[in-house]
């Protein structure tokens, strides 16, 4: 009986290897696999309808992941483990303590290191058969098209509206599919934008879902509103699933629809997204044919007159020249405790109740992490109390510390 079982096993192996050799002759850039790769991906190879052909498509694919944070961590790990052959990572940030609550790609040994470099090391340890390409720079209208053009599709895991609109517009202009995801507090969402049908007609994109961004400060970022640590793992994994489906052509891709997950009540919803005739990219009368200034575009959605801005360089000049001013920090207490530049802490939620603490005689510089909350605080104060001496620190504490980490202002970390 043992001898018979061994012979049957040998026959199964021969049949299995023969089927692989036949499949490898199919045209997917003649992608070949080593024995080590075949062993690694055998659970994929055994899936009916996926098999070696699906794995060949994965190995041939070039995917750019925007953001190596909460969403990017599970997304990158599963794409790497799945065998996506070329993975680009676009992120200019470094690993911080507050990241480790949800960004499972990193550990304490990575603190202070560029996320792209720490991610590359981790992903290559996970799968040495793939290639990781790094883009340690902030995406902008000047570099986005050049970075995106060499990839087959994009997975957007960014955490701010200017980048989402930038990535969307670049994908539409280049004819790339954009697998999108976002998280906040207990809720996440996933969709696939600019996905072509068999006739080559592209589906809905981010501007069909959100024609204009919300006013700055209306939607809290993760620092202000928080996010449950496991949520990016759930949503980032779903995002990875859609990337794999787009690459392999299997299943029903989540295009022209958006999936909403409410983790607090464990409820899911799917809404249809209809293409808008007034979409400025590909509607009936398109007006956008090149990338724009997306920071300015998102700020323009704010009601009322523009907020006075003070650049980080100008702020440093004020300090150096002995300019007298009041500095107010509108972030949350835990953010302030982690790092501050000596401002008076008045969280955005309490700003209108603290009007008496704000000078009307001195120049007042208001700052947050990146500039959105400080701009909202100023608009609210100007509207309710008629302040005319308020300045928002453009780019927030992030811009200031990048410009001069040895500033004369007291910095606590």
Residues 95-133 as b or e (16 or more Cβ within 10 Å = b) = beeebbebbbbbeeebeeebbbbbbbbbbeeebeebebb
Residue 376's pLDDT is: 83
Fold of 61-299: Rossmann fold (3.40.50)
Q: Which of 290, 291, 309 is nearest to 299 (CA)?
A: 309
**Which of the residues 76, 368, 377, 390 is marked catalytic?**
368
- Establish whether domains 61-299 and 309-403 are of one fold: no
pLDDT at 292 over 90: no
Residue 91's pLDDT is: 95
Is the CATH number 3.40.250.10 carried by domain 309-403?
Answer: yes
pLDDT at 148 over 50: yes
Residue 304's pLDDT is: 56
Q: Is residue 222 annotated as a catalytic residue, yes or no?
A: yes
Residue spans of the domains in the chain: they are 61-299, 309-403
Q: Which of 36, 126, 129, 55 is nearest to 86 (CA)?
A: 129
For 4-41, write each residue's pLDDT tens digit.
Answer: 333 333 333 333 333 333 223 334 658 999 999 999 99
Higher pLDDT, 305 or 258: 258
Distance, C-alpha 167 to centroid of its chain: 10
Q: Do 72 and 105 form a contact (C-beta atoms < 8 A)?
A: yes
Q: Is residue 171 annotated as a catalytic residue, yes or no?
A: no
**Which of the residues 222, 247, 307, 310 is marked catalytic?**
222
Residue 8's pLDDT is: 33
Residue 256's pLDDT is: 96
CA-CA distance, 255 to 277, in Å (whole number)? 18
pLDDT at 98 over 90: no
């Amino acid at each position: 009986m043992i001898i018979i079982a061994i012979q049957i096993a040998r026959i199964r192996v021969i049949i299995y290897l023969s089927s692989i050799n036949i499949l490898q002759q199919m045209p997917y850039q003649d992608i070949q696999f080593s024995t080590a790769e075949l062993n690694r991906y055998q659970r994929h190879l055994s899936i009916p309808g996926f098999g070696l052909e699906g794995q060949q498509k994965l190995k041939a694919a070039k995917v750019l992941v925007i953001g190596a944070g909460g969403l990017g961590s599970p997304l990158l790990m599963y794409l790497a483990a799945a065998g996506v052959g070329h993975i680009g990572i676009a992120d200019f940030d470094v690993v911080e303590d507050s990241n480790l609550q949800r960004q499972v790609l990193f550990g304490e040994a990575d603190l202070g290191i560029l996320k792209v470099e720490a991610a590359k090391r981790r992903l290559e340890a996970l799968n040495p058969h793939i290639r990781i390409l790094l883009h340690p720079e902030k995406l902008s209208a000047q570099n986005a098209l050049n970075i995106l053009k060499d990839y087959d599709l994009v997975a957007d895991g960014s955490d701010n509206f200017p980048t989402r609109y930038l990535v969307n517009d670049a994908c539409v202009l280049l004819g790339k599919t954009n697998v999108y995801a976002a998280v906040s507090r207990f809720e996440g969402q996933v969709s696939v934008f600019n996905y072509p049908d068999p006739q080559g007609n592209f589906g809905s994109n981010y501007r069909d879902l959100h024609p204009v961004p919300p006013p700055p400060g209306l939607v809290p970022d993760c620092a202000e509103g928080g996010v449950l640590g496991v949520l990016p793992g759930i949503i980032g994994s779903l995002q990875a699933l859609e990337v794999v489906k787009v690459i392999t052509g299997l299943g029903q891709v989540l295009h022209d629809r958006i999936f909403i997950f409410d983790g607090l009540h464990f409820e899911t919803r799917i809404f249809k997204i209809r293409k808008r005739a007034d979409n400025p990219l590909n509607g009936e009368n398109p007006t956008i044919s090149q990338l724009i200034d997306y920071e300015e575009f998102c700020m323009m959605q704010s009601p009322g007159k523009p907020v006075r801005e003070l650049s980080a360089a100008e702020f440093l000049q004020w300090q150096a020249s002995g300019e007298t001013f009041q500095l107010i920090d509108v972030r949350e207490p835990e953010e302030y405790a982690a790092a501050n530049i000596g401002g008076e802490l008045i969280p955005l939620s309490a700003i209108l109740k603290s009007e008496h603490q704000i000078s009307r005689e001195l120049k007042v510089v208001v700052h947050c992490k990146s500039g959105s909350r400080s701009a909202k605080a100023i608009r609210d104060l100007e509207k309710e109390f008629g302040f005319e001496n308020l300045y928002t620190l453009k780019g927030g504490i992030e811009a200031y510390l990048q410009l001069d980490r040895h500033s004369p202002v007291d910095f606590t970390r």
